[in-house]
Chain A
Amino acid sequence: MIIELGHLATVLALALSALVVVASILAARWDASFLRVARAGTLAIGGLLLAACLALVYAFVQKDFSVLYVAMNSNSKLPLMYQIAALWGGHEGSLLLWAAILSLFAAAAVLVHWKSDPDLMPPVMGTLASVQIGFLSLILFLSSPFERLIPAAPDGRDLNPLLQDPQMAFHPPTLFAGYTAFAIPFAFALAVLITGRGRDRWIFVSRRWILFAWVLLTAGIALGGHWAYRELGWGGYWAWDPVENASFMPWLVGTALVHSIMVQEQRKSFRIWNVSLAITAFALSILGTFLVRSGIISSVHAFASDPSRGIFLLAFFFLALIIPFGLLVMRSDTLQGEEAEAPTFSREGLFLFNNLVFIVATFTVMLGTLFPLAMDMLSETKVTVAAPFFNKTFIPIMSVNVLLMAIAPMVPWRRFTGAQVKRIVLLPAVIATVIALVLVLVGVRKPMAAVSLWLAFFGAMILGREWYRAGSARARSLGRTFLQGFARMASTNRRRFGGLVAHLGIFVLIVGFVGSYAYQQQSTVQLGKGEKTAIGDYEIVYEGMRPIVGPNWNGYAGELDIYRDGARVGHLAPEKRIYGRADMPMTEPKRLKTLTHELYIAVGDIDPASGAAALHIYLNPFVGFVFGGILVLLLGGAIGLSHRIRPRGRPA
């Protein structure tokens, strides 16, 4: 019964979306009072879709296996937490979650900007409702999670064992929230194109939405990487899987956008560019959905595919590109400034380079992801484009941006001279070079690793000097301590400070990447009971397998004592689990963490007769810096988010 109500709520939400589109057109063309209808509709859709999600969660918690989606993705023995998270454990439910989050953001955007930007509201609401129509039609007509299974299944098929991890509660919703939050700047950009008004205003309105989406997407991707690292047992966190790439592309474009809107605020240029980026970021979010769900590309994340769904998604993706870009092409003159300024040697000029690099990087990821498909079409040959290609192209390309990132925030807007740059760069460059040379002598011999580390030190040192100078200047002027001066400096311009903190996060991240990617040690050995192995300065003693039983799985835990320089430093018990649904064994690696490295052990094949086991052992230097760097990055985003910018000419 409840599930039918959820279905009904979704149908109503679709009808209301159509109503909102009509009402916002009427409001713009005929009578502004229709605006209230559109607003009421937008808010109601949020409530209805939230209710639809809750109805589905209710069916999961009630273990109602007469609902097909529940029967396919749950099981009577599934722990409660995963019963709830199973809402987004399959294609249909995750799509519903997508739509629900989008509707909540749309409602929030309408509430927040209703008073300040009434003239942009009709096209914003109309655009968001149109996107919603697309998703809700897909849900209702091609992938309904509300379908009944008659007769009901005695028990469910269980949630995919790969998804049974605490991260399941966070990674998908955060990622979806990041994707959908890009719909709001997308809608405002479109509103500018449709109305021809607010060409600079939309930047101020959307700035925090863009940053918000960026923070969510960053967190979503990072959570996914952390999940892969904790769970998959191959010692890494990023595999350049097509679906990882699909989430990475909007992130790259979103990051470019976060930077380029600053130029428009400052200099009223980059207008067309910013609108294009906002459109592209959202279109790439939809592309990600398309790639995952159309079965066009093989990937770990792929859902079961269905050709009609593929056509629908493709049409949706095509419209999401062609309508906005068509509008942009037709209306680009309304965006053009009084004069097209040539870029100069200035901070905004460097932002142009930054954007170029981000776009080339995005293109590289897209090229690598789609190249096998194109080759198949053109020459009927299959090629594999995987991590080696991306590492060899993306990393050098992005290192250009790391160099820019170090310098650009410190040079003035409008114009800088060579002498100014020299003053900023010289000392840090010398020190970074000395450190890098020492590292080379110590044994960092891989060129890209040395260059990357040089860049990270260089950037961090410029940043440190800037903070030191600015902080002590404030301290002196206030007559307080350095820390108080620093705090004042940080809090008076939280946006700049947040940005610099994010940059610091990237520098930390680079150290983590270099350590864990270029200097990972790896060993796979077969150990009998009581035997030991060694990696780095660790010795690992295998004491045998212990059978363990979980709520819906059985398995073994390998008991390992870890010694370092002869002293016992820990005990790890990596597991091998077998879930009911698939007899594919799942591995549960365990880690011994220190500040500078992690010992990471996963169990491979087990010989039950002798108790011997294969161990996959990894020593990952500085891998903690990867996740720590992302935390700093997110902290920077959050600081920036807390800063409210008002457009020039308005009272602060």
Chain B
Amino acid sequence: MMRRLFLAAALLFALPLPLQAEGEPATSLPVRLETEEDTRVREVAKDLRCAVCQNESVADSNSQLARNMRDLIRDQVRDGKSADEIRAYFVSRYGDYILMEPRKQGWNWVLWMLPFVLLVAGLVALVLRMRRGASPAAARQAPEDDVIDVPFEETDRLIEALRSPAASSQEKS
């Protein structure tokens, strides 16, 4: 049955195809787009964890629970509830676990802040030590020796050398 229907559909579409290639609209049916409501449902569902899945949001999951949840979100959106209100409802039922993004409160501050605190502390400590290392005494110590590559500065010098005609064959590799 399915196949026959498909054949019929294929035949129907086979005729108008060449015309469409020349800029005609694809079909005469109106374009069916995601409605604003769909988008709002998806935006809320994206922030909620599909509780029975692994690391998937309610928006992305195909599980029955996620479907039911999307359905419920849709009803709540229709009732004019805001995204925050809907999220709060889910938290009251499932706890913070349902939120894809941990809330910025309590112990979660450790999670949110520690990486940045470490980064800034590390950067500051390094800069301080470098300023100490950059003292004239330390700079004088550095002897000139071979380098494994030719950085920018060396290239500049090379170009300078090449510009003076006497040095045109002095290139070393």
What residues of chain A have their CB less than 8 Å away from a CB belonging to chain B?
A: 234, 239-242, 262, 265-266, 298-300, 302, 341-345, 347, 349, 352-353, 356-357, 360, 363-364, 367-368, 371, 375, 378-379, 381-389, 392-393, 396-397, 400, 409-415, 420, 424, 466, 469-470, 473-474, 476-478, 489, 492-493, 495-496, 522-527, 529-534, 539, 541, 543-547, 559, 561, 563, 565-568, 585, 587, 604-605, 608, 611, 645, 648
Q: Which residues of A contact B112 (CB under 8 A)?
A: 389, 393
* Set B95, B122, B147: member contacting A382, Cβ < 8 A: B95
| Alpha-carbon distance between A644 and B20 when the two chains are bound, in angstroms | 59
List of A residues within 8 angstroms of B101 by Cβ: 386, 388-389, 392
A386 touches B129 (CB 8 A): no
Distance between B167 CB and nearest chain A CB, rounded to angstroms: 10
Provide 25 A-B residue pairs closer than 8 Å at the C-beta atoms, listed in order of the A residue: A302-B54, A352-B126, A353-B126, A356-B122, A360-B118, A383-B96, A383-B97, A383-B108, A384-B98, A410-B151, A411-B152, A523-B38, A530-B27, A533-B31, A533-B32, A534-B33, A543-B9, A544-B9, A546-B2, A547-B3, A559-B10, A566-B20, A566-B26, A567-B22, A585-B62
Are A360 and B122 touching (Cβ within 8 A)?
yes
- Find chain B residues with CB under 8 A from A357 CB: 119
Give the residues in chain B near A389, CB-CB below 8 Å.
101-102, 111-112
What is the CB-to-nearest-CB distance from B112 to chain A, in angstroms, rounded to a whole number? 7
Inter-chain contact count A-B, CB under 8 Å? 241
Are A529 and B129 neighbours in the complex by a CB distance under 8 Å? no
A414 surroundings in chain B (CB, below 8 A):
142
Q: In the complex, which residue of chain A has the Cβ closest to the Cβ of B162?
A: A476
Residues from chain B with a CB closer than 8 A to the CB of A262 are 148
By beta carbon, the residue of chain A nearest B115 is A364
* Complex contact B32–A525 (CB within 8 A): yes
Residues of B within 8 A of A385 (CB): 102, 111
* CB of A364 to closest CB in B, whole Å: 4
B96 touches A356 (CB 8 A): no
Contacts of B97 in A (CB 8 A): 382-384
Assess whether B84 is interfacial by the CB under 8 Å rule. no
If the complex has contacts A344-B130, A367-B115, A424-B152, are A545 and B146 also in contact, measured as CB distance less than 8 A? no
Q: Looking at the complex, which one of A265, A367, A534, A567 makes contact with B31 (CB distance below 8 Å)? A: A534
Given contact pairs A375-B107, A530-B9, a sample of 19 additional A-B residue pairs in the complex whose CB atoms are under 8 Å apart: A298-B55, A299-B54, A342-B133, A356-B122, A382-B97, A386-B49, A386-B55, A386-B101, A393-B112, A411-B152, A492-B173, A493-B150, A522-B42, A532-B32, A533-B34, A544-B6, A566-B25, A567-B21, A645-B148
Which range holds the interface residue count of chain B? 35 or more
Interface assignment of B79: CB less than 8 Å from any CB of chain A:
no
Residues of A within 8 A of B108 (CB): 383
- Are B138 and A543 interface neighbours, CB within 8 A? no
- Could you say which of B56, B62, B151, B156 has the most chain A C-beta atoms within 10 Å of its C-beta? B151
Q: Which residues of chain A come closer than 8 Å to B23, judged between CB atoms?
A: 565-567
Minimum CB–CB distance for B115 against chain A, Å: 4
Chain B 152-172, CB within 8 Å of chain A: the 1/0 string? 111110110010000011010
> In the complex the two chains form, is B119's CB within 8 Å of A360's CB?
yes
Chain A interface mostly = mixed
Minimum CB–CB distance from A508 to chain B (whole Å) comes to 22
CB atoms of B130 and A356 under 8 A apart: no
Query: Considering the chains assembled together, what is the distance between the CA atoms of A344 and B135 in angstroms?
Result: 9
Q: Within 8 Å of chain A (Cβ to Cβ): is B65?
A: no
B20 CB, min distance to chain A CBs, angstroms: 6
Residue numbers in A under 8 Å from B149 (CB-CB): 493, 495-496
Chain B residues near A420: list those with CB within 8 A. 153
Q: A541 contacts which chain B residues (CB < 8 A)?
A: 13, 26-27
- With A342-B138, A495-B148, A543-B10 known to touch, is A383 a contact of B102 (CB < 8 Å)? yes
Of the candidates B56, B107, B152, the one having the most CB atoms from chain A within 10 angstroms of its own CB is B152
Residues of A within 8 A of B29 (CB): 530-532
Asked if B71 is at the interface (CB within 8 A of a chain A CB), the reply is no
B81-102: contact bitstring with A at CB < 8 Å (1 yes, 0 no)?
0000000000000011111111
Q: Do A363 and B25 contact each other (CB < 8 Å), given the known contacts A344-B133, A393-B112, A534-B33?
A: no
**CB proximity of B18 to chain A, nearest CB, Å:** 9
Q: How far is the CA of A25 from the CA of B54 in the complex (A)?
A: 46
Shortest C-beta distance, A407 to chain B (Å), equals 10
Query: Which A residue sits closest to B98, measured CB to CB?
Result: A384
Instruction: Verify if B75 is at the interface (C-beta below 8 Å from A).
Output: no
Ordered nearest first, which 3 A-B pairs have the shortest CB separation? A342-B133, A388-B101, A496-B149
**CB-defined contacts of B132 to chain A, threshold 8 Å:** 342
What residues of B have a CB within 8 angstroms of the CB of A382 in the complex?
A: 95-97
